[in-house]
Amino acid sequence: MNPIPVLLDCDPGHDDAIAILLALGDPRIDLLGITTTFGNCQVEKATYNAQRILALAERPDVPVATGAAAPLAGAAHIGDFIHGATGIDGPDLPEPLAPPVSVGAVDFLRTSLLDAPAPVTVVATGPITNVAVLLRDHPEVGPKIAEIVFMGGSTDRGNTTPAAEFNAYADPDALDVVLTSGLPIRMVGLNLSHQALATPDVVARMRAMDHPVGRACADLMGFFGGTYSDVFDFAAPPVHDPCTIAALIDPGLITWHKSFVAVETQGRWTRGATVVDLHGRLDEPPNAQVAITLDVEGYWELVLDALDRVGHPVAEK
């Protein structure tokens, strides 16, 4: 079976870092490139952080393109209260081994898609602005997108407002563009990712790998767990973003429900809330596969195996 070609749009971010490493470490994924956006930190920091994670993995061959600094409308909402001043506070990461590409994220996505020999999966783990601009300005890429898998929204409550999850809140207008695009979509929301907790046992298994990748991931989770404890009173941090990559590698880890999904773009109190019609009450045609439950043990086996696979070549040099 050929690996799945993936373009990853992200805002690293502690959990984005684990998603990047998962994509690099599992042979069933072919990571064609990374695009960055504002979100967990300013976009310039997100680009730098993606480059540092690639340097940790000794994979400077993966191109990185800088994208949106702000949403389609309004000011950027930044998650530094969770991710720290750098966006990936905690570990001492290496400096980048290669510069970002000279073109912006949208142009990079367009060219990568049109040049690809087969349709490509677009994974978005931050505010989905880059993908929305791509679809709005370059509709010709539609047939070259196998599906869009995004981390955002929830079937339940929010984590930024009582109603809205962070990525959806950060650019609901962009999410609306994606949800109404007619393309195949899978939604991985808080209801799913809050099952993916980096417990002390998980962090200990990262540190026990005894190579730079494992130790860095343990340090990432240490900082992430501290802020999640302080801000949300979580006993362990939910590692949201790798769930999107895991869904591609082994869809059986997740149960899915085909539903109509919309995002609120107007509400005074509910802007950014995702409306997920699990019971078909709105009489609207389904437009997304929605992640519901996670095989937690299988998920962490997948993630930890990939991290160890990335780390061994680094440790052996």
Contact 191, 156 (CB under 8 A): yes
Contact 106, 133 (CB under 8 A): yes
Q: What is the amino acid identity at position 53?
A: I
Question: Residue 200's Cα: distance from chain center in Å?
Answer: 23
- How far apart CA 35 and CA 162 sit, in angstroms, is 29
Tokens 């989770």 label which residue? 221
In the chain, where does DSSP find H-type helix? 14-25, 43-56, 80-83, 105-115, 129-137, 166-170, 172-179, 190-193, 200-207, 212-232, 242-249, 296-316
Question: Residue 66's Cα: distance from chain center in Å?
Answer: 15
The single residue of 240, 257, 279, 312 carrying the catalytic annotation is: 240
240 noted as active-site residue: yes
Q: Is the peptide bond before 13 cis (omega within 30 degrees of 0)?
A: yes
Contact 266, 159 (CB under 8 A): no
Catalytic center residues? 240
